[in-house]
Structure 1
Amino acid sequence: MHFKLIIKKLNISTILIVLLFIVISSCQKDPEFKTPQTAEQQPLTVATKWFEQFYALTKACPGFTPPVAARAFGYAGVALYESVVPGIPTHQSLGTKLNGLPQMPKPILGQNYYWPACANAAMAHIARNLYANMPNAQLEGVNQLEKQMVETFSSFADIETLNRSKVFGQSVGEAIFAWSVIDGGHEGYNKNFPANYTAPTGPGKWVPTAPSFQRALQPYWGLNREFVSGIINRSQTLAPLTYSTSKTSPFYSQALEVYTVTSTLNKDQEIIAHFWSDDPGIGGTPPGHSINIASQILTKENASLALAAETYCKVSIAVADAFISCWKSKYEFNLLRPITYIREVIDPTWTPILTTPPFPEYSSGHSVQSSATAQVLSDLFGYRYSFIDRTHEMRNDIIGTPRTYASFYDYAEEAAISRLYGGIHFRDGIYFGLKQGRIIGEAVGALPFKR
C-alpha cells in the first residue's frame, strides 16, 4: 500500500514536470529574423559583387567590344534597380518611364522580402542571359557567386522570405531580359563585324586601318533602341571640320596637333594613354572602367543597397546610351582616323602608341561615355568629389598605379585627352564628345527615380 502511494506521487510529479515543460515551450516563440524592411537598411555587398562579376565576364567573354559591353551593363543596372526599388520608399519603378520598358513585376502586398536575395536572383538571371556565350569557367563563377550569396542570407531571413524573394528577383530578371532582346543589339557579341555593311567612300571618309585592317565594328549600333527616350537625337553633335589636305586648313592643323603631340609625349602622357585604353579582353572596356569607378565610390561611401542600385542603374544607362549616341555620330559622319590622314598627308612612317580601333573617328567614345558617367556621379556625390581610381593597380602590362582626381569631370577630361596622346583621335572628336556625353548624363539625371 505504501509502495503504490509512492508510485502515484511519482506519476503526479512527472505529469507536473511535463506540463510545466509544455507551458514554458509554448511561451518560447520560434526564432525571429529582424529583417530590415527597406533596401536603405541593407549593405551594398550583393550589388558590388555582381558588378565585379560583370566586369570579369566582359573581359573573359568573346565579342564584348565597348558597345556590346555598355549594353550589357545597361540592362544589368536596370535589373538591379527594379529588383530592389519596392524596398526604397522614396523611389519608384522605371517601368513605362524608360524607352519601351513595360510595367515591372510587383512584390506581393503584405509579404516580407529580403532585398539582397531579390537582387541576387535578378543578377544571376541577367548574367546567364546577357553573357550567354560565357566559357564554362565563367559560368561556374556565376553559379558559385549566386550560391555564396544565398548562403550568407540564411542568417538574416527565414526560408519562406528567401524563397519568395528569389521568385520575385528572378521575375524581374526575366522581364528585363525580355525587354532587351528587341532593342537591336541582342547577341551583339556575335555580330561585331557585319559582312553586309559597305562603308561610304570619298575624301576624308573612314577606311580600315593598320595593322589589322578590320571591317567596321558595329556600324548599325546607332540604330539601337536607347534607354532614355529621344536622347540619341537630342545628343547628336555638330558636324566635324570640313576635310582638307591644305596646310592652311583647320583640318590640317588638328591633324598636325596629333602628329606633334604624339611625337613629343612625356612619360605621364604615355601612362595616361595606356591607363585609359581599356582594350577589350584586357582592360574590361571603357564602360567597364566607368562601372569600376562607381564601385570604388560606393565602397568608399559604405553605401546602402538602395544607393548602390540607383548609382549602378544611372551609370549603366548613361554608358549604354553614350555608345548608341556616339556610334550614331561615327557612322553618320564616317570621318577618317588620324593614322590615315597623317600617313597620307604629313608622314607616311608615323605610328601612334595605341592601336587604332576599327571604326570611324568622330566623335570619341571615351569622351562621350566618360563625360556621361562624370555627370551622373557628380549629381549623386557632388561636383568636387575627389577620389582615387585603382582600376588597374593589379595589372603588370601597363603602369596601373592608382591615379587621383579632384572631381569626376577631372577624370573624364583625362580619359578623353588620353585618346589624343594615344594618337587615335583629333581634338574636335574629344571636345564635342565630352559635350555629347554631358547631355546624356543630364538626361539620365532627369529620369523620375524619386516619387
Structure 2
Amino acid sequence: MKFVCSRPLLACLFAMLSFMACRREETPVPSDALTLNETASLYTTSGGDAAIAVSWYELQLKLIRETSGFTPPVAARAIAYTGVTLHEAVVWGMRGMPTLKGQLNGLNYLPTPERGKSYNWSVAANSALAAITRDMFPNASAANQELITQLEINNLEVLSDSCNQEEVIRSVNFGRQVAGGIYQWSVSDGGKDGYLNTFPADYVPPVGPGLWVPTPPLFQRAMLPYWGNNRPFIKPRSSDTVWIKHPAYSTDTASTFYKASFLVYNTVNTLTPEQNLIARYWADGGGTFTPPGHLIAITAQLAEEQHLSLFAAAKVLTQVGIGLNDAGILCWKYKYKYNLLRPVTYIRAQIDSTWLPLIGTPPFPSYTSGHATFTSAAGNILAANFGSSFSFTDKQKVPEGFSPRSFSNFQSMIQEASVSRVYGGIHYQFDSEAGQTTGKDIATRVLSLQY
C-alpha cells in the first residue's frame, strides 16, 4: 500500500541515518543473495532522474576545495569510488545493467537486494552516496560533515513524499550496505591515507642531469611519489610496463630537448590574450576543485542538461570516475619513473635565469602531463557516451569569474586543456602529447567493461 510519508516516519528514518552514519562495519553477506543471472525483473523499479546523484557530486566538489590533502590524484580516487558506489546502488533496478563485481580489480563481493522485494533506487543511491562521501572525506570540517548529513536528510525527504515505509527503509539499508562493501574494497588499494601524507619525508628523489628538483617559488618536496604503486580499478596490462619515452635530456642548443624547452619559454613570453585565458581557465590549482573535479563537474552538468535517467547518469559518472582514478595512478607512475625536470628548472639554467612561468609549477616531475592524461581519459569516455561531434558549454568556472567556455566536441576540450599547461609554462609539449595517448588508452579500457 502506498501512502504519504508521515513526519514520524521521517523522524525515525533520520534517527536511523544518524545512528548508521556513526558506524562502519563489515557488510554482512545477505542470506538470500541473488546470483548475477537473476535479473532486475525480480524487483519493483523506482528510477528517477540524475538530480539526486548530481547533488552529491556538487557537494563533493566543495569538499575537494575545502578539505586538506585533496590533491588531484586523491580527488580522482574519491570521485571514482563514488561512481562505483552509485552504480552498484542502482544496478539491480535496470534490466540488463550488469554489476561491476568481478570486473574491477579486486572487487569480489558486494551485497545484492532481497529476492522479491521492492526498492526505490533513488533512495538507495542517496544513502549510498552519503555513506561513501563520509568515507572518502573523513577529514572534512565539522561544518562540511554536517552538510553531508543535511543533504542526505533533504534528499530523503523529497524522495519520501509518496512512498512505502518498508520500501524506503529497505532501500536506505541497501544503499548503506553497498557503500560499506565499496569502502572495504577501497582500503586495500594503497591510497586510503593519501590525503594525510602528501609530501612523504622518507622519499629521496634521485639526483642527476635532467632530473626533477623542487621548483620556485615554494620549493616543495615531491608530492605523492608512491601514488603510481596504487591498485588501479582496471586490471593492468603487461604493456603498462613498456614506458613511453621522452626526448633525451640535453643542453645542446641543437637538441630536441633544448628546442622543446625553448618552445615553452617563447610561448609564455608571447602569449596572446586567448592563450593567457586558456592557461588560467584550466589551471585548477590548489584550493580549487582540481582537474579531476573540473572534469566530473562537466560530466554531472551534462547528465543534468541532457536529462539522463538515474541509471544512465550512474553509467557515465562511473566510467569517467574510473578513468580519472586510473589516469592519476598511471600518470604518477610515469612521473616518478622518469623524474624529469620541469621547464622552469631547465629554462632558468640554460636560457634565462630570471624566467618564471605564468602559473605556479606543481611539486612533482614533469613527464607525463596530469592535465592531458586526466582530460584525455575523461574526454574520450564522454565522447563515447554523448557522441564525437557533441557540442557543449562548460559552465563550471563561472563562480570563479570566467565566462562559460564552449567546445564543438570533446576532442577540442582535450586539446585545449592539454596545451593549457604549455601556455602556463609548466609542461613541455611532449608531456601533453604522451598524456593524451595514455589517457585515451585508459578510456578504451574503461569502455571495454560491461555497465
Counterpart pick for 1:332 among 334, 337, 359: 337
SS in 2 for 1:388: strand
Distance 2:2 2:160 in 1: 15
- In structure 1, what residue type is equivalent to 2:413? Y
Counterpart pick for 1:56 among 44, 62, 81: 62
Pairwise CA distance, 1:394: 1.4
- In structure 2, what residue type is equivalent to 1:431? E
Distance 1:197 1:208 in 2: 13
Go from structure 1 to structure 2 and tell me whether the alpha carbon gap of 1:445 and 1:156 turns closer, same or farther (over 3 Å shift): farther
Pairwise CA distance, 1:38: 3.2
Residue equivalent to 1:290: 295
Distance 1:187 1:178 in 2: 14
SS in 1 for 2:355: coil
1:306 partnered with 2:311: yes
Distance 1:216 1:240 in 2: 20
Residue equivalent to 2:362: 357
Residue equivalent to 2:38: none
1:65 partnered with 2:71: yes
- In structure 2, what residue type is equivalent to 1:408? F
Residue equivalent to 1:427: 429
SS in 2 for 1:349: coil
Residue equivalent to 1:229: 235
- In structure 2, what residue type is equivalent to 1:349? T
Counterpart pick for 2:393 among 388, 391, 396: 388
Pairwise CA distance, 1:37: 3.5
Q: 5+ unaligned residues in a row in structure 2: which ranges?
A: 6-42
Distance 1:239 1:148 in 2: 51
- In structure 2, what residue type is equivalent to 1:327? W
Go from structure 1 to structure 2 and tell me whether the alpha carbon gap of 1:128 and 1:175 turns closer, same or farther (over 3 Å shift): same
SS in 2 for 1:290: helix
Counterpart pick for 2:95 among 89, 94, 111: 89
Distance 1:107 1:231 in 2: 33
- In structure 2, what residue type is equivalent to 1:338? P
Alignment map for 1:32-431 (pairs within 5 Å): 37-38=44-45, 41-230=47-236, 233-234=239-240, 237-281=243-287, 283-396=288-401, 400-431=402-433
Contact kept in structure 2, 1:126 and 1:173, CA below 8 Å: yes
SS in 1 for 2:399: coil
Go from structure 1 to structure 2 and tell me whether the alpha carbon gap of 1:262 and 1:30 turns closer, same or farther (over 3 Å shift): closer
- In structure 2, what residue type is equivalent to 1:133? N
Distance 1:313 1:272 in 2: 28
Contact kept in structure 2, 1:322 and 1:372, CA below 8 Å: yes
Q: TM-score, normalised by structure 1?
A: 0.90
Go from structure 1 to structure 2 and tell me whether the alpha carbon gap of 1:84 and 1:139 turns closer, same or farther (over 3 Å shift): same
Contact kept in structure 2, 1:63 and 1:189, CA below 8 Å: yes
Q: 5+ unaligned residues in a row in structure 1: which ranges?
A: 1-28
Pairwise CA distance, 1:235: 8.2
Contact kept in structure 1, 2:331 and 2:370, CA below 8 Å: yes
Pairs aligned (count): 414
Distance 1:317 1:133 in 2: 23
Residue equivalent to 2:28: none
Go from structure 1 to structure 2 and tell me whether the alpha carbon gap of 1:236 and 1:53 turns closer, same or farther (over 3 Å shift): farther
Runs (4 or more) in structure 1 with deviation over 4 Å come to 29-33
SS in 2 for 1:394: helix
Q: TM-score, normalised by structure 2?
A: 0.90
